[in-house]
Amino acid sequence: MITWTNQIEVHDLNTWFGSKHILKGISCYFMDNAVTAIMGPSGCGKSTLLRTINRLNDMIGNFRMTGKILFEGEDIYSAEASVYELRKRIGMVFQRPNPFPMSVRDNIKYGPKLHGVHDEDQLDKIVEHSLRRAALWDEVKDELDAPAPNLSGGQQQRLCIARALSVDPPVLLMDEPVSSLDPISAGKIEELIVTLKEDYTIILVTHNVQQAFRVSDQAAFLYMGELVEFDETSHIAEAPSDPRTEAFITGRIG
């Protein structure tokens, strides 16, 4: 019987786009039911790391990787792995809200329908449940059939969160989910993330140090493709062990 201690483990991950070496020897793990922040300056590979976890980088022709990423104990890049099942169990929220140009209801029904749910009652329950979880239900419940792009930016992003939750993934990847939003919406979503971590494992990419400190339990600092430091957030905040980390969190690099 295999036991594993964390849902996602990264072992010595290196990635290339063509000849550009992006991620260099990353090894870390992501705690269950906690928020792990991946922080670092722009262009250091944070998004690449995230997209390698749900294999979205497969779509890029010249992507290469070595190393292993284990999800529930199994190598997600192995030949037997089903990328579609993987992505069902690992959800993603993008930097700019990208609700489909359909109604709110159809946006949320999309995922479950793909994976075999066709009963209308069950789908409606999923719609309500996901929207409640994303703290959006009260605002849209009377207009579920209105086109999603008509919502405000913050509402659209919460809709995207609800959509990601619709297939009940144990893990949620979030790529700078609030960086394109106004501060009030951003704040609401940060609160949402904190409540979600009770039931989901959240990996949050951010370039905003304060946000990482506010929201996360564990933090990884990525700099130029290397994992410089990886520790409990409180430890990093009080006493970073690497000078580069310190430079980043005090704003000298970023």
Out of 74, 124, 190, 246, the only residue in the binding site for another protein (CB under 8 A) is 74
Task: Select 84 or 183, whichever has its Cβ closest to another protein.
Answer: 84
Considering only CA atoms, which of 49, 20, 52, 25 is closest in space to residue 37?
49
> x/- binding map, residues 96-135, to another protein, per CB under 8 A?
x-x-xxxx------xxx-xxxx----x--xx-xxx-xx--
CA distance 149 to 139: 15
Interactions with another protein, residue window 148-207 (CB under 8 A): 148-150, 160, 163-168, 170, 198-200
For 65, other C-beta atoms within 10 Å of its C-beta total 18
Q: For the CB of residue 58, give the shortest distance to another protein in the complex, in Å.
A: 9
| Residues 79-98, interacting with another protein (CB under 8 A) | 80-82, 84-89, 91-92, 94, 96, 98
Least separation, in Å, of the C-beta of 15 and another protein? 16
Distance of closest approach, residue 112 Cβ to another protein, in angstroms: 5
Which tokens in the block code for residue 174? 């979030």
The C-alpha atoms of residue 121 and residue 240 are separated, in whole angstroms, by 51
Which residue number, 167 or 183, has a Cβ lying nearer to another protein? 167
**Phi then psi dihedrals of residue 218, to 5 deg:** -135, 145
Residue 233 structure tokens? 């957030």
Nearest CB to another protein, comparing residues 27 and 66: 27
**Interacting residue with another protein among 4, 18, 239, 253 (CB under 8 A):** 4
Amino acid residing at 14: N
59 is a contact residue toward another protein (CB under 8 A): yes
Query: Which is closer to another protein, CB of 56 or CB of 205?
Result: 56
Please list every residue from 8 through 37 that binds another protein, using CB under 8 A: 25, 27-28, 31-33
- For 89-156, the DSSP string reads HEEEE-SS----SSBHHHHHHHHHHHTT---HHHHHHHHHHHHHHTT-HHHHTT-TTSBGGGS-HHHH
Residues numbered 201 to 230 that lie near another protein (CB under 8 A) are: 218, 226-230
Taking the C-alpha atoms of residue 179 and residue 190, their distance in angstroms, rounded to an integer, is 11
